[in-house]
Amino acid sequence: MIDTTTFWTVTILMAIGTFLIRFSFLGILGGRELPAWLMLHLKYVAVAVFPALITPMVIWPDATGGAIDPARLIAAAAAFLIGWRFSVYGAIFAGMGTLYLMQFVLGAF
């Protein structure tokens, strides 16, 4: 167990660090026009972050003890295809629907 002083020191330092990171974008750059090359690169941030958050849950899901689950792989493929062709919201709903359907069909529910 961590002692109280260390806990609060780390908590306060993390709060200051988080504030400074957010302030660097909102406070300093908030009212300025960003260069076109930077705006072009910022468009790809969401495209990179979304798969990075989802991939570990598909390949090593906690629900199966880290074993590969065919239902999750099929749902991820469906979400990828719909997201690639249509929209992010379509990908989310297609992935959820396919996951629940495959769990029901494969008997994982």
Stretch 17-36: mean pLDDT, rounded? 84
Q: What is the pLDDT of residue 30?
A: 76
**Model pTM?**
0.59
DSSP 32: S
Query: At residue 69, does pLDDT exceed 80?
Result: yes
**Could you tell me what percent of the chain has a pLDDT over 90?**
42
Provide the 10 A C-beta neighbour count for residue 91.
21
Q: What is the pLDDT of residue 46?
A: 80
Helical spans, DSSP H, in the chain: 4-26, 36-42, 45-59, 70-85, 88-106
Residue spans per domain, the chain: 1-32, 35-109
